[in-house]
Structure 1
């Protein structure tokens, strides 16, 4: 995939994630940063970083529980280790870090 195509797809996905997080019910600060980075700060002081990694053509998530890489396959961002889908995994990671259950619904 061309770099520009990847960047456009990743930026769109990050914008969708940011929008969904605003309504997920968890008290967190979301700070978009230049270069395709979302920094989340939780009420308990922990942070999570979600960013695009252009060289690998992946979206990366750095959470308290570890680092995860997602590659676009058949229209979904899939974890390169275990095949988990990004949105489902993000809900679990955010819920675990926030200490409360989270449901993330991708905006249409």
Structure 2
């Protein structure tokens, strides 16, 4: 059995013993003044937590890519036309490669 600290139904971290979880919860409360609940978790809950972390990473990267596309749009609007188009094409190619699972050229 694994143990976790949870805040608002979101598992923040998991531990091997209830003592470790308790100490982490106390530290978390001291730092944030938010109550951290210590709970026993099942393997399914552990998998859900790991999946949530992966989704969070993908969402963050998606936002970074959208930001990169917006930067390209600004370059095209204000830069030297030939240079801006060349640079924008390079950025777009890299983003498309990443979205398709390939590497990125720098």
When normalised by structure 2's length, the TM-score is 0.31
Higher relative contact order, structure no. (Cα contacts within 8 Å, ≥ 6 residues apart): 1
Determine which structure has the larger helix proportion and give its number.
Answer: 2
Structure possessing the higher radius of gyration over alpha carbons: 2
Determine which structure has the larger strand proportion and give its number.
Answer: 1
When normalised by structure 1's length, the TM-score is 0.31
